[in-house]
Structure 1
């Protein structure tokens, strides 16, 4: 392309070009001081930014209030996503480790947990609207989240509280629950092999096709969930920690922006893991939402009863 166009542009190979003096914060509309930290504007343009408004402008175009609301909603849903994994791990740990003697969570108890979780997530995310903490633009200037750049104590204490209560403590619980699940499954497998050896048979399982046991499948799902959870949330937690300690030289817009985009994929990845690897989840999905069910829809009780009668 010759002569080259002026300003910031993408060539036919999707390479980003810009004059040497161009900065990330050039041409921003006035009035964004409350949500825009000068740290982000000192860098050259970063690409490729994503978001709906990128088709119109390359920075946040919905105003200060909507930026804070967007960040608050992200905080609420992110907290719910994290805490839901903790509750799921707790429920599975009780059932699998406790065995047939374990008391299952009732529908009313599960409903109270869900309501309490959403209430807690909402209350813990409205602090910046009450003067504790702050929401602002993220590195790529097209999304908003927790402002971990500001150095005042009110903001840093809020970020520290969020980091500990919404990441470190839940991660410890998740690892604890799924470690107990995996340990119980392995112990069960060892016990079955020991009994089979005493009886002089290869296996005492009912599965004649020597397929993988349900316990091992559950253990693999547990391990996958833990690794997925850690892999998606750790990069963002590291970025937030860097902001807390003040090592801003490593926080380029891309370094800060990409982990934020990664954690937004968690809401899509977790259901996929459950759907692909957990038979009970697939069956429930096929019953409640047949169009999203994976595999054959389970027969109804009436059909099962008819089949049993006919066989008899």
Structure 2
């Protein structure tokens, strides 16, 4: 008797399995209403070890709690502190807002799916889930690029740069949300599609289809949300560090002419400003690279060599990307000395001590926002 001659198999509407565990596959627990969205590639894999579902679920609970609380505090402190309501800081607030929405909408469904070890919320919500993840992730990426561009404008161009205004900042934010929304809608209309991922606990873009037209969306989209922002960040930070290094060189030359050892205090001489800023740049680019590269690797592997993509392999994209929403508040807000001062005043239990860190704060302020420029304008 063939596979399809078995009434139970016909009723389950599943494809025959080619894995050594017989007919037990990772797709077995998937509700019938979303089976049409599951690529046949996943039917060859046995069920994942339940331990993985538990670990991912626990990770998402911790990351979700930290991200939602952390980004909410960032938004609340910035919006309720007059000295922090500057054009440049609107970009930081927008970043915190997009990260907050990402984890607020992403982590509960994924935790539920990890508990049931499959996607249980239907086909439509699977598409909405993937759409929201793509939307908020792209907004975060481009907001980080705008923040870096503002740093470049202040540090490299200096007084010759055109000050960032509230209107200019709002235009950048509206542009980011509008263009990102336009890029994330095509899968609803046939240019690629949103489908369950191999682990069946989340949904994303379809990288396993053999359709070249569908692949073209992922190729173009990866340029828009990965390659261009990455290389732009590297380019901008290169010139930021170079400008600070030149400034430090000029200060040393000036000190030599004045017959003093340094124009800086003894404490600030221990670590040069260019070294500190280089560390900030390296950390920012490295964290960005670690957050979004797994998704790129998974998508490109699925398109070019899908035999290498397993359900476990498909998990890492979600894990690393969502972790990005946790450390963004630390990189872009808590490193800001004025934010730390406001946090210490409004929420002393969460404050970060700034005593004895005046010099580090000065560098962090210069490398994080353009407050000095905005205020002087």
For the aligned pair, the TM-score class normalised by the smaller chain equals 0.7 to 0.9
Shift of the 94–292 alpha-carbon distance from structure 1 to 2, 3 Å rule, reads farther
Shift of the 221–55 alpha-carbon distance from structure 1 to 2, 3 Å rule, reads closer
Q: What does residue range 263-282 of structure 1 map to in structure 2 within 5 Å?
A: 263-282=321-340
Tell me, yes or no, if structure 1 residue 238 matches structure 2 residue 297: yes
Shift of the 117–257 alpha-carbon distance from structure 1 to 2, 3 Å rule, reads same
Shift of the 81–282 alpha-carbon distance from structure 1 to 2, 3 Å rule, reads same
RMSD of aligned Cα (Å): 2.4
The Cα of 1:216 is off from its aligned counterpart by: 4.6
Shift of the 116–285 alpha-carbon distance from structure 1 to 2, 3 Å rule, reads farther
Tell me, yes or no, if structure 1 residue 122 matches structure 2 residue 181: yes
- 8 Å Cα contact 2:113-2:202 kept in structure 1: no
Gaps of 5+ in 1: 1-18, 298-312
User: 1:2-35 deviations in whole A, cap 9, x for unaligned?
Assistant: xxxxxxxxxxxxxxxxx93332112322122332
Q: Which has the higher contact order (CA 8 A, sep 6+)?
A: 2
- 8 Å Cα contact 1:185-1:216 kept in structure 2: no
- Distance of 1:103 and 1:178 partners within structure 2: 19
The Cα of 1:65 is off from its aligned counterpart by: 0.4
The Cα of 1:62 is off from its aligned counterpart by: 0.4
The Cα of 1:79 is off from its aligned counterpart by: 0.4
More deviation in 63-72 or 167-176?
167-176
The Cα of 1:163 is off from its aligned counterpart by: 0.9
The Cα of 1:54 is off from its aligned counterpart by: 3.6
Tell me, yes or no, if structure 1 residue 158 matches structure 2 residue 159: no
- 8 Å Cα contact 1:24-1:44 kept in structure 2: yes
- 8 Å Cα contact 1:34-1:64 kept in structure 2: no
Query: Which of 31, 40, 46 matches 1:38?
Result: 40
1:145 alignment partner, SS class = strand
- Distance of 1:280 and 1:71 partners within structure 2: 36
Query: Which of 301, 305, 308 matches 1:250?
Result: 308
User: 1:83-103 deviations in whole A, cap 9, x for unaligned?
Assistant: 011101110000011123322
- 8 Å Cα contact 1:140-1:257 kept in structure 2: yes
The Cα of 1:217 is off from its aligned counterpart by: 3.6
User: 1:113-140 deviations in whole A, cap 9, x for unaligned?
Assistant: 1111111111110111122111111121
Tell me, yes or no, if structure 1 residue 261 matches structure 2 residue 326: no
Shift of the 84–285 alpha-carbon distance from structure 1 to 2, 3 Å rule, reads farther
Structure 1 or 2: more helix by fraction: 2
2:302 alignment partner, SS class = helix
- Distance of 1:118 and 1:284 partners within structure 2: 29
- Distance of 2:129 and 2:267 partners within structure 1: 52
The Cα of 1:218 is off from its aligned counterpart by: 3.6
- 8 Å Cα contact 1:93-1:177 kept in structure 2: yes
The Cα of 1:171 is off from its aligned counterpart by: 0.9
- Distance of 1:238 and 1:256 partners within structure 2: 10
- 8 Å Cα contact 2:30-2:200 kept in structure 1: no
The structure that has the greater radius of gyration is 1
Please give the TM-score of this superposition, normalised by the length of structure 1.
Answer: 0.80
Tell me, yes or no, if structure 1 residue 195 matches structure 2 residue 215: no
The Cα of 1:295 is off from its aligned counterpart by: 3.8
Shift of the 281–153 alpha-carbon distance from structure 1 to 2, 3 Å rule, reads farther
1:254 alignment partner, SS class = coil
